[in-house]
Chain A
Amino acid sequence: MKRKYLITVMRILAPVLAIVLSAFISSIVILAIGKSPWQVFYTIFRFSLSRLDSVAIILYNATPLIFSGLAVSLGFRMGLFNIGVEGQYLIGAFFAALAGFTLKGLPAVIHLPLVILCGALGGMLWSFIPIYLKVKRGVHEVISTIMLNYISYSLIHYLIADVFMDRTQKLLDGLGSMLARTPKLPPSALMPKLHGLLGLFGIELPRHVYLNWFFPLGLLMAGLTYYLLMYTPFGFELRAVGQNQEAARTAGIKPERVYMVGFLLSGAVAGLVGLSDLLSYFGYMDLDFPRNYGFDGIAVALIGQNNPFGIIVSAMLFGFLKRGAEGIQTLLNVPMDTIVILQAVMIMSIVVITKVMNDYIKRLEKKEDVRVCSSQNSSLQV
């Protein structure tokens, strides 16, 4: 019992240790560019946490990463590496945009859910290709999803700049050129901000904050994912396949079916990643639509140790760092790349530290088992 307690403590301690270690290494980087690490870290914290609107921005930053981390973790849990969340969310966002600007005159209660559903559908569709290839043809999902990411970049570019480009944009006479973007989505397809709800609690947020209902939706999704994994028969199968495919098969579970359903679910969640940006900040999809949420999701899932609640925490950590980066850039003239380095170092330290700690825990357990067993044997002989 005491050992179990120790293990839990170590599990929680690992990411904390990794953060400390990476802060230390980043300090060296900051010193190297002639700034004071203390001042930089202090500014990150003060800038990010001293004002409510700043905190709201952190939550807004974290929103897509929660979905992305969950999508990646679903893959990890069944032993698959879904690197394709990147492409899946872009396709998902496009599907949502398409449903947004083509359907007109629907009330918001129908239009918005439909748009969100289309986002999930788009992500699912894009994840179907790699998992079909894997299950039927043995194509490794890492290769196929990476390739599909590139295809999705180009495809989205083509769809936005060519097929569905909004050619009705009103330009001022002789000024500028048309943006390569889709038509704007009608208000019925947009996600309301959280301002109204927070206002009820006396929290007033300025207009430039785009925190919206996708954030609570992300929290809900994390809860649902946890429920799915830990409480449903399918989640049980998914974990069994992820941890010992052979034993799962022997028990009568069909790993191929689990892979198929699980990966499609992962794709569906991935399809929601871009919607917070699309349906509250942009209102249309253009060539500058944010990228890399899919790759960041891998890091988020890794740091969150594939636990849905861990993923919420690590997504917020990333949101916090992003906000802090803006702070040190404007206030201290420290390049934003410092934060990128900090993130990278953090991911590496967490991988190393959890590995070392897990090995240590394993060794502890083995020793204990041998001790218990040999004492049992000798007591039998007596």
Chain B
Amino acid sequence: MDKAVVLRGITKRFPGIVANDGITLEIEKGEVHAIVGENGAGKSTLMKILAGIYQPDEGEIYIFGKRERITSPGRAIELKIGMVHQHFMLVNRFTVLENIILGAEKRAGMVIDEQKCRKVIGELLSLYNFSLDPDARVEEISVGQAQRVEILKVLYRGADILVLDEPTAVLAPQEVKELFANLRRLKEEGKTIIFISHKLDEVLEIADRITVLRRGRVVGTVVPSRVTKEELARMMVGKPVFMKLEKTPVPAGDVLLSVKDLVVRENTGKPAVNGVSLEIRGGEIYGIAGIEGNGQKELAEAIIGLRKTSSGQVTICGRTATGLSIREIRDLGVAFIPEDRHRQGLVLPMKVWENMILGYHRKKEFLKKPSLNLKTAREFTEKRVKEYSVRLSSIDQSIDGLSGGNQQKVILGRELSRDPRVIIASQPTRGLDVGAAEFVHEELLKKREEGKAILLISADLEEVLSLSDRVGVMYNGRITAEFRPEEVTPEDVGVYMLGGGVKAGEGA
């Protein structure tokens, strides 16, 4: 029997990073094949290639035994590949039926043949045992139901291969159960399912085979019955080789950053940070581990003043920072390396030197009476560029054209060269290649030796454990455990990251 999907040597490069590096993978017809890996391992890129959104730079794709080039999402549908996106693409005001047929209406002359559509959808619903009212408006149905609409959309278009991108991320535990029941039924009917996730419990429950990706490469393909969760986690994270970073002992200084009972709410009123307390001394790196979306981002943004705090207190260098403006907080000596450098760190169309002084452009040295002092700004930039070996053709170049690693160096140069006392680094190596990531690590350690207090937030467990002096695990808006990295293994921390250790239940 033909394989449903065969990938050979798929490589995809983005500026500064190889997202997929020679991926070879076979997916049998009628199996549930899970693809797991950490954030940034290349799962999404691979699936986007399969869905026709990206084109691979190298490699071959075979669909049901035939070599194909998936040139567009439309072509993917023709090849019977259906993508169920993590973020729903539904028209809220339309009914379930209207959403399903949208763009693929069965017609009778000029008008939509609603009866025919209704019949086809009715058949699909009963064949796969989906409970769904075709006439309900999407805005009125639950998240789990909306996801079923997405699945039906691709089935209606005749998909035989379903790609589900992190389908459980938005679901409550009982909805996950229902989804799995649906998936099993689809499998019985001969559909092939590719299931992307980083939740190991779920993958072990539903998948026939599991392929693990790490840093754009396939680590291996395993069968759930012959592997434990811990083994899988190790494959995902890599061997717990502590990077060979020289960590000289630094005498602890004063408490420079202190957070007390901090509560930060989302717009919906739900607390994203729910009573976090921590203290960081000079010469100390405090790492926060945790699966993304557990309040890390909100914590960082609250400290720097980007987010309002509901209650609790932030103290920086002995002074209350709660309620101050971002500029005032920065002036207390806080440097911020934001997790999304394109959205928060840089103004992309602007020049390199303009980005290098952004936020500090009203400092004395960059002003000359009514105007900016372009000369000192440029000198400052040239110096940082040399110091951080940023690769560029000119500091007048738009920062758009720099690779991710070099863009991050510009941010480091801007934030760290002003002798800050507290550094908040949020996912500082995300999307960087190994060399650039190493550079960032060394910089952070250098600052530690200089006696700065550093809050390091990262989804990369290896990074957190090898850099930090203390590690807190954040889960559901709380710090649920605190370790010294030398006392624990990544697996121990992993348990807490998944919500274990405290109270089981309530999926991550």
Contacts and interface: CB of A to CB of B under 8 A. Distances in A.
Interface of A: 1, 227, 231-233, 236-237, 239-240, 243-244, 246-254, 365-366, 368-370, 372-374, 376-377, 380
Interface in B432-489: 433, 435
Nearest to B329: A252
Contacts of A227: 371
B225 interface: no
Nearest to B301: A250
Nearest to A366: B15
Given A233-B361, A250-B304, 4 more contacts: A231-B374, A240-B358, A248-B358, A369-B401
B15 A247 contact: no
Nearest to B304: A250
A4 to B, nearest CB: 8
Interface in B334-352: 336, 338, 343-350
A247 B326 contact: no
B371 A250 contact: no
A373 B403 contact: yes
Contacts of A373: 13, 15-17, 403
Nearest to A380: B435
A237 B306 CA distance: 17
Contacts of A240: 347, 350, 354, 358
Nearest to B306: A250
Given A227-B371, A232-B371, A373-B15, A243 B348 contact: yes
A261 to B, nearest CB: 14
Size category, B interface = 35 or more
Nearest to B338: A250
Nearest to A254: B325
A247 B400 contact: no
Contact of A252 (B13, B18, B326, B349): B326
A232 B346 contact: no
Nearest to A236: B361
Q: Which of A227, A365, A374 has the most CB of B within 10 A?
A: A374
A231 B372 CA distance: 6
Contact of A251 (B13, B358, B366): B358
B344 A250 contact: yes
B14 interface: yes
A188 to B, nearest CB: 32
Nearest 8 A/B pairs, CB to CB: A251-B359, A252-B327, A231-B371, A369-B15, A244-B347, A250-B344, A252-B326, A251-B358
30 contacts: A233-B372, A236-B372, A237-B361, A240-B347, A240-B354, A243-B350, A244-B343, A246-B344, A247-B345, A247-B346, A248-B347, A249-B306, A249-B326, A250-B304, A250-B336, A250-B345, A250-B359, A252-B325, A252-B327, A252-B359, A254-B327, A365-B401, A366-B15, A369-B15, A369-B401, A370-B14, A373-B13, A373-B16, A374-B18, A377-B433
A248 B358 CA distance: 8
Given A369-B401, A373-B13, A233 B347 contact: no
A232 B372 contact: yes
Given A366-B15, A380-B435, A243 B327 contact: no
Given A233-B367, A252-B330, A370-B14, A247 B361 contact: no
Given A233-B372, A253-B359, A370-B13, A244 B346 contact: yes
Contacts of A377: 18, 433
A248 B372 CA distance: 17
B433 A247 contact: no
A237 B325 CA distance: 16
A35 B127 CA distance: 69
Interface string B363-383: 000110011101000000000
Contacts of A233: 361-362, 366-367, 371-372
B126 interface: no
A346 B403 CA distance: 38
Nearest to A244: B347
A370 B346 contact: no
Contacts of B400: 365
A377 B433 CA distance: 10
Contact of B13 (A237, A239, A253, A374): A374
Contacts of A376: 391
Contacts of B401: 365, 368-369
B393 interface: yes
A246 B15 contact: no
Contacts of A254: 325, 327
A112 to B, nearest CB: 26
Nearest to B398: A365
A325 to B, nearest CB: 37
Contacts of B349: 243
Contacts of B347: 239-240, 243-244, 247-248
